[in-house]
Structure 1
């Protein structure tokens, strides 16, 4: 089968006119969702490790519930249902930011919980022996060490998050994939557009994965 690929489609104008705007939104969404997801995920992890049912049960239901629903469904539900509840639209970009933070927090929570549990209990007891409160122990002793242990996994989840940003295409947000799709429609070359999108996603994600591997080796040497 002859696809008749038009190689002249792959020009700088394609990226400058259509893709860069979408790439910027995809990167901004990734950064905001990562920071917000880690912060909310840390709170959820501490709730699950608190040993108090009134904190543990709601956090467990939230985490397991979010992890059991496809992300694209959460995006669509939030985009379609929340404006009906609050009585006004919040826009595709706003919906994407809130949805990704809420959804990714469930995954970052499990990473944070595993990292916290990886710290030897002896260090926790040592902090308690020094008179530290639970919050001080977590902030000064446990979390700094846990974060270093979790950093490669957190970055790997961030790469997955960047790939998932393409799902905001379902609600019309202008992400990188949307930019390629519009270019493909304007020039009548959809095959070339999606081929270019696949190549760019591969290059970016492969480069980030390579950096994560290098970082993991450095952390292993420090240990």
Structure 2
């Protein structure tokens, strides 16, 4: 067995950096878009009207029951058929991730809102606040405190899931490492380096989520 040579990592940092940048882009866009869409879905699911609540619930149930890799395939192959135009791998992947993450963020937001004691809403209503003012000024600030650890944890999971974009021919961090490992026949060095980077980033996110969860409990 030959000795390890991590110089292959340093000489290809630019290529690996491009892959990591793509992973970061997927995380940022999917998180922001997923939270926005998930917030809208949560509002529908919390509605008193069945005509609004049931479709939103059906969407969340279906998406959460389907593997992410299958959702990526759906949007990659179906969007061009629906629109009649070539979409491209990156836009279709971003749409797929946003739609997928929205279902999970919806449940996190809904659970956070429902965790606020009903007495808070009753007290706010007694002061004459309108429903939207009550939600914005009283319920959401308290719900956000409860949601924050779960939101951070979901971002960590999303970062791990970005490795699946290889199925639509995108070069994320892991795929970039795979290309170099195959070309230079250095899988141990490349995959070891990737494992360390994933571990450090995910550990930092998990520690942050745990710290925030501890603050909430206190």
TM-score scaled by length of structure 2: 0.93
Asked if residue 181 in structure 1 is aligned to residue 172 in structure 2, the reply is: no
Runs of at least 4 residues off by over 4 Å? none
Q: How much has 1:126 moved relative to structure 2?
A: 1.5
Q: How much has 1:5 moved relative to structure 2?
A: 5.9
Q: How much has 1:191 moved relative to structure 2?
A: 4.2
Q: Which residue of 1 aligns with 2:165?
A: 168
Q: Which residue of 1 aligns with 2:33?
A: 36
Report the Cα distance in structure 2 between the residues aligned to 1:11 and 1:174, rounded to whole angstroms.
Answer: 16
Q: How much has 1:218 moved relative to structure 2?
A: 3.3
Asked if residue 149 in structure 1 is aligned to residue 146 in structure 2, the reply is: yes
Unaligned runs of at least 5 residues, structure 1: none
Report the Cα distance in structure 2 between the residues aligned to 1:12 and 1:217, rounded to whole angstroms.
Answer: 39
SS in 2 for 1:7: coil
Q: Which residue of 2 aligns with 1:194?
A: 191
Report the Cα distance in structure 1 between the residues aligned to 2:100 and 2:3, rounded to whole angstroms.
Answer: 38
Say whether the 8 Å CA contact 2:76–2:168 is kept in structure 1. Answer: yes
Compared CA separation, residues 119 and 87, structure 1 to 2 (3 A)? same
Asked if residue 57 in structure 1 is aligned to residue 54 in structure 2, the reply is: yes
Say whether the 8 Å CA contact 2:6–2:189 is kept in structure 1. Answer: no
Report the Cα distance in structure 1 between the residues aligned to 2:38 and 2:76, rounded to whole angstroms.
Answer: 22
Q: How much has 1:161 moved relative to structure 2?
A: 0.6
Q: Which residue of 2 aligns with 1:206?
A: 203
Counting only pairs closer than 5 Å after superposition, residues 19-30 of structure 1 correspond to structure 2 as 19-30=16-27
Counting only pairs closer than 5 Å after superposition, residues 46-125 of structure 1 correspond to structure 2 as 46-125=43-122
Say whether the 8 Å CA contact 2:34–2:98 is kept in structure 1. Answer: yes
Alignment deviations for residues 96-117 of structure 1 (CA, whole Å, 9 cap, x no partner): 1111111001001111111101
TM-score scaled by length of structure 1: 0.91
